[in-house]
């Protein structure tokens, strides 16, 4: 079984990465809608999938966080990606399965996955 | 809501919104008494008597952006459907405690679901706030306090994906056997 002592090892490994992550002006913020509507639609597994993908690939300059209800409940789970100097990208009807592609193509590659965005959904 | 752990996450978000610096989330399982209790206790700003009276009305909310507030009504509905009830105690300036009871084995009891996932979501998304997560199941107890974890992390934020991933696995391993007793038939 895992013990909290193992956390000390993670801390030591993370210290350098984390200090740059928070202050980094290139920091990308992934915000998952976690109001009642988002949670009921399955936001939690989506947030967990982003967390796992970012941790597993050791992506240095990304934070995964939550946001409230932004008023498009019918499109939940909604994920907003804020990258410095770029327009916000809004992904809708997200699933854990879609996360890997968003991380590799958008977060790492810089090109949003157009077909998952609200623009594509409204067409 | 498909899982009670989703209600738990949803109601705890109210505590976060109410400015609670320390929120305690408790899961109590007593199979002999066929009882499941979920409790969210915060030290947020609390509610006035007027708000408290109207808070389980789905068409009441203190938000100004929309006219519905479904979190507490859904939680109450889940409890009452499964042979239990929801109670709220609140005092302005002191905090709010929401407690829902359920009858274990009731055919309409939703599964608890991914409780560790909900707890880690809360901790990860609110790294500046503290949470106590306690499970008491047939006399066995597990407890996690983010203040202890914060001490170990020495400045590495609770929002780090790597920390969240560890906490998730840690909670899953330590609570699996305790929580699965809620799957009573």
Confidence tier at A60 by pLDDT (50, 70, 90): confident
Q: With left for phi above 0 and alpha for psi between -120 and 50, is residue B98 left, alpha or beta?
A: beta
Query: Taking residues B125-135, what's their average pLDDT?
Result: 97
Give me the phi and psi of B104, to 5 degrees please: -65, 140
pLDDT at A19 over 80: no
Helix (H) or strand (E) holding B150: helix B146-153
Write a three-state SS string for B17-65: HCCCCEEEEEEEEECCCCEEEEEEEECCCCCCHHHHHHCCCCCCCCCCC
Residue of A2, A35, A45 with shortest CB distance to B170 = A2
Tell me A103's DSSP state. I
pLDDT at A22 over 70: no
Confidence tier at B23 by pLDDT (50, 70, 90): very high
Write down the pLDDT at residue A48: 95
- Put simply, whether A71 touches B (Cβ < 8 Å) is yes
- Put simply, whether A45 touches B (Cβ < 8 Å) is yes
Other residues' Cβ atoms within 10 Å of the Cβ of residue B2? 12
Write down the pLDDT at residue B9: 95
By C-alpha distance, the chain B residue nearest A38 is B10
> Could you please report the per-residue DSSP string of A107-119?
IITS---GGGBHH
Listed residue (B165, B126, B146) closest to B14, CA to CA: B126
Distance from CA of B83 to the nearest CA of A (A): 22
Calculate the average pLDDT of chain A: 91
**Are A7 and B1 a contacting pair at CB < 8 A?**
no
B40 touches B12 (CB < 8 A): yes
- Put simply, whether B162 touches A (Cβ < 8 Å) is yes
Residue of A1, A8, A64 with shortest CB distance to B161 = A64
> Could you please report the per-residue DSSP string of B64-87?
SS-S---HHHHHHHHHHHTT--EE
Task: Assign residue B16 the CATH number of its domain.
Answer: 3.30.565.10
Task: Assign residue A52 the CATH number of its domain.
Answer: 3.40.30.10
Chain A partners of B70 at a C-beta cutoff of 8 Å?
Answer: 36-37
B111 touches B4 (CB < 8 A): yes
pLDDT at A20 over 70: no
pLDDT at A111 over 80: yes
**Tokens 């974890």 found at:** B149
Distance from CA of B31 to the nearest CA of A (A): 25
> What is the interface pTM, i.e. ipTM, of the complex?
0.88
Write down the pLDDT at residue B60: 78
pLDDT tens by residue, B142-180: 999 999 999 999 999 999 999 999 999 999 999 999 999
Give the number of domains in chain A. Answer: 1
Give the number of domains in chain B. Answer: 1
Share of chain B above pLDDT 90, in %: 83
pLDDT tens by residue, B66-84: 666 788 999 999 999 999 9
- Put simply, whether A54 touches B (Cβ < 8 Å) is yes
Give me the phi and psi of A65, to 5 degrees please: -145, -170
Return the beta strands (E) in chain A as ranges: 28-33, 62-67, 79-82, 89-91
Write down the pLDDT at residue B157: 92
Domain around B164: 4-182
């Amino acid at each position: 079984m895992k013990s909290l002592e193992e956390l000390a090892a993670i801390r030591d490994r993370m210290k350098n990465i984390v200090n740059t992550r928070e202050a980094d002006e290139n920091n990308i913020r992934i915000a998952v809608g976690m109001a009642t509507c988002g949670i009921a639609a399955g936001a939690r597994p989506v947030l967990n999938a982003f967390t796992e993908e970012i941790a597993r690939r050791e992506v240095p300059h990304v934070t995964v966080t939550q946001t409230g209800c932004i008023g498009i409940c019918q499109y939940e789970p909604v994920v907003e990606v804020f990258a410095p100097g770029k327009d916000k990208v809004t992904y809708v009807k997200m699933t854990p399965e879609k996360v890997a592609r968003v991380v590799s193509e958008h977060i790492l590659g810089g090109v949003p996955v157009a077909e998952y965005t609200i623009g594509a959904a409204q067409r | 809501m498909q899982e009670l752990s989703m209600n738990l996450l949803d109601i705890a978000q109210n505590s976060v919104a109410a400015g609670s610096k320390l929120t305690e989330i408790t899961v109590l399982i007593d199979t002999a008494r066929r009882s499941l209790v979920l409790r969210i206790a915060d030290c947020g700003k609390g509610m006035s008597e007027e708000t408290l009276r109207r808070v389980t009305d789905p068409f009441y909310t203190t938000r100004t952006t929309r006219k519905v507030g479904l979190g507490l009504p859904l939680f109450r509905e889940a409890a009452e459907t499964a042979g239990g009830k929801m109670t709220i105690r609140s005092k302005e300036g002191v905090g709010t405690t929401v407690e829902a009871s359920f009858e274990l084995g009731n055919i309409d009891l939703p599964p608890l679901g991914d409780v560790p996932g909900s707890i880690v979501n809360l901790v990860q998304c609110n790294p500046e706030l503290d949470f106590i997560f306690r499970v008491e199941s047939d006399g066995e107890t597990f407890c996690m306090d983010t203040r202890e974890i914060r001490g170990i992390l020495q400045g590495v934020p609770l929002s780090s994906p790597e920390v969240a991933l560890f906490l998730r696995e840690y909670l899953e391993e330590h609570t699996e056997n305790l929580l699965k007793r809620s799957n009573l038939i």
